[in-house]
Amino acid sequence: MSIDYTTEIMPEVLKNLDLDSTDSEAEAKYQILLSANNAQRTILRKVPIEQVDNILLTVTGPLQINIPYIAWPSDYIRFSKLKVSYTAAISETNLGIKVTKAKDGSFLEFNLDESPSLQNPKWSYIDGGFELRPKPPQNQTDGYELEYVYNLPAISATQSSLLRDDLFNALIFLTTANAALKGGGKADLGKIYNDKFAVEIRGLWENEQSKVTS
Q: Burial, 73: exposed, middle or buried (Cβ in 10 Å; 0-12, 13-18, 19+)? A: middle
Q: Is the pTM of this model over 0.95?
A: no
Residue 117 CA to its chain's centroid (Å): 28
d(CA 168, CA 185): 25
Q: pLDDT > 90: what percent of the chain?
A: 83
Report pLDDT digits (tens) over 96-115: 999 999 886 555 554 545 67
d(CA 182, CA 128): 30
Report pLDDT digits (tens) over 45-89: 999 999 999 999 999 999 999 999 999 999 999 999 999 999 999
